[in-house]
Amino acid sequence: MCFASCSPRIFILQSRKPEPREVSDLQEEGKNAINSSLSPASVDIHPEDTLLEENEERTMIDPTSKEDPKFKELVKVLIDWVNDVLVEERIIVKQLEEDLYDGQVLQKLLEKLGDCKLNVAEVTQSEIGQKQKLQTVLEAVHELLRPHGWVLRWNVDAIHGKNLVAILHLLISLAMHFRAPIRLPEHVSVQVVVVRKREGLLHSNHITEELTTTSEMMMGRFERDAFDTLFDHAPDKLSVVKKSLITFANKHLNKLNLEVTELESQFADGVYLVLLMGLLENYFVPLHNFYLTPDSFDQKVHNVAFAFELMLDGGLKKPKARPEDVVNLDLKSTLRVLYNLFTKYKNVE
């Protein structure tokens, strides 16, 4: 984590320094435990990962999972989102586990997202102070998420212990709860190595940890519709549906000398949706109400959201999709929006 202008952070280490021989023995013990696992993957155990108390447990992501492109994309999307939210704080996050473990960035993030102020010390350098701060921040997070049925897969010790899986679960939940204008990669899972000390020996096993499912499932919209079935069981019919919707849209947009050839991209900035609603309802949409040539993500989201408002005014139900989904080129979301228009206006000349 970098601050645009600040003094270097000071870390106070309170743990004892192991003797070289002890580190060597413990490291060998840890490697033997991992190598004896049923999983073929090998994991490097650092000395600090083997200094466990009896029955204490530590988890780490298998290195092969960290190289997965979808995992890397998930981490990048979350880092970029956090940095976008905190741009006015002059905070730049570079590595999630190193920059979020002490609670300082999480505090700023929650305050910005929730438009609130937490009663915590601004800077804490001792481990006790950091955990107290984390406790306060996480309690505030839990008050937000619990009423909405979120499963809380993190705690103070996990976050402060730089458990990347726990930190990812936390950020994903916050992004979904606050409807972040981002697109998380779907179906991301990682192999996690769990190391536990029992009777003086380290034992390990591998588990699969699911980080993301589908956008709709993560948003809590579990009801399935015809498009879920179409995508899952009849992808061959998808081109027929797309062709029908393109024909319907062009029937009206051609009146303005406009033509659609690609559903995924040409409705993403919201302009065609706004103009289409005006044509279907037979009114002129004032140009100052939307961006005719949007050049930013926010302007595109504004346009799509405005089109949704026009749909509600026209008696349509609130679209199941989010404006951000359409802007992010989510085909299923775009098809749902257009199909709702087709259902009501298919006989309009």
CATH 1.10.418.10 fits 60-219, yes or no: yes
Q: How many angstroms separate the first and last alpha carbons of the chain? A: 58
Residues of the chain with CATH 1.10.418.10: 60-219, 224-346
Long-range contacts of 220-227 (CB under 8 A, 24+ apart): 220/148, 220/149, 220/176, 221/320, 225/320, 225/336, 227/332, 227/335, 227/336, 227/339
Nearest-angstrom CA–CA distance, 325 and 81: 16
Q: What global pTM score does this model have? A: 0.56
Tell the burial category of 200 from Cβ atoms under 10 Å away from its Cβ (0-12, 13-18, 19+).
exposed
Q: Answer with the residue of higher pLDDT: 277 or 123.
A: 277
- Quote the tokens at residue 198: 């029992």
pLDDT range class, residue 236, cuts 50, 70, 90: low
How many angstroms from the chain centroid is the CA of residue 262?
27
Cβ atoms of 99 and 171 within 8 Å: the answer is no
Would you state the structure tokens that stand for residue 89, as one six-digit string?
């704080």
Closest CA to 72 of 49, 96, 91, 92: 96
The pLDDT of 263-271, averaged and rounded, is 90
Angle in degrees, CA 330, 168, 4, rounded to 5: 95
Rounded Cα–Cα distance for residues 276 and 45 (Å)? 59
Rounded Cα distance, 70 and 153, in Å: 21
Which class does domain 224-346 fall in? mainly alpha
Q: Is the pLDDT of residue 74 over 70?
A: yes
pLDDT digits (tens, 9 = 90+) for 332-349: 888 888 888 988 888 888
Mean pLDDT across 89-108: 92
User: Mean per-residue pLDDT for 278-295?
Assistant: 92
